[in-house]
């Protein structure tokens, strides 16, 4: 947005919807300070996390309207779209864990999935973090036109094995893509028309075009998201 030759600062963003309070979900807000007018939708729990961090006051109330939305209740977005947040299995953000607290007992509002739909068109699901797929979530996604889903890790312990981290995927609230309890298996019979893996950790061999893991994911009907990807209905 370099613009010393006349064009004003401009962002096409009209709304931001947060599905959680983890660093990778909220840190980008700090780039939207200074006269970017938009509405910020999130659960009351995630709004409380932002309020507990004064640095987010850089998003001034004059320009950014914060709206707490309850789970499972559709709300209107600018442009005639409807959105809805719903609970998915997850956990409290890592930086809010108390010492020794390594269970998965996030509150329902800590990790959400997002459904967006236009009046006429099919629904899109955005679920960047998900610890497992219970029957209720499977039912919700069945037959969907498009699901963007948590592709953090290929296998649960890959960060530990390669020495880049000390946490398993389960510990971080992410189910793995591979394996009998993984994402590919869970989606196999859901009849989702288009499936895209997002939120991919840099340890995940999926990122390599020529890896056997990429081939396996594509054979299972998955696409792998990339920077600048555009999705046309």
Binding residues (CB under 8 A) for its own copies: these are 1-6, 8-9, 23, 26-27, 30, 33-35, 52-58, 94-96, 162-166, 202-208, 211
Minimum separation from the CB atom of position 52 to its own copies (A): 6
Sign of the CA dihedral running 33, 36, 42, 45: positive
Minimum separation from the CB atom of position 189 to its own copies (A): 29
Minimum separation from the CB atom of position 178 to its own copies (A): 14
Q: Nearer to its own copies by C-beta: 147 or 172?
A: 172
Q: Nearer to its own copies by C-beta: 28 or 70?
A: 28
Minimum separation from the CB atom of position 218 to its own copies (A): 16
Minimum separation from the CB atom of position 62 to its own copies (A): 9
Q: Nearer to its own copies by C-beta: 1 or 232?
A: 1
Q: Nearer to its own copies by C-beta: 84 or 158?
A: 158
Q: Nearer to its own copies by C-beta: 37 or 138?
A: 37
Q: Nearer to its own copies by C-beta: 189 or 209?
A: 209
Minimum separation from the CB atom of position 165 to its own copies (A): 6
By C-alpha distance, which of 127, 156, 152, 121 is closest to 140? 127
């Amino acid at each position: 947005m370099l613009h010393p030759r006349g064009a004003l600062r401009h962002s096409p963003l009209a709304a931001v919807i947060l599905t959680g309070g983890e660093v990778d979900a909220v840190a980008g807000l700090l780039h939207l300070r200074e006269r970017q007018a938009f509405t910020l939708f999130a659960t009351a729990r995630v709004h409380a996390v932002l309020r507990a961090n004064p640095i987010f006051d850089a998003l001034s109330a004059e320009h950014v309207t914060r709206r707490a939305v309850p789970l499972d209740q559709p709300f209107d977005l600018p442009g005639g779209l409807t959105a809805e947040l719903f609970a998915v299995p997850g956990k409290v953000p890592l930086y809010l864990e108390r010492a020794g607290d390594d269970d998965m007992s996030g509150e329902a509002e800590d990790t959400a999935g997002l459904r967006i739909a236009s009046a006429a068109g099919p629904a899109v699901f955005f679920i960047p973090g998900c610890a497992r797929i219970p029957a209720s979530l499977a039912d919700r996604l069945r037959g969907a036109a498009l699901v963007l889903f948590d592709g953090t890790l290929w296998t649960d312990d890959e960060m530990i094995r390669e020495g880049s981290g000390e946490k398993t995927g389960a510990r971080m609230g992410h189910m793995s893509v591979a394996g009998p309890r993984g994402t590919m298996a869970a989606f196999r019979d859901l009849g989702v028309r288009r499936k895209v893996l997002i939120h991919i950790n840099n340890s995940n061999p999926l990122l390599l075009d020529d890896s056997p893991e990429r081939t396996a994911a594509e054979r299972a009907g998955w696409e792998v998201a990339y920077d600048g990807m555009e999705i046309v209905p």
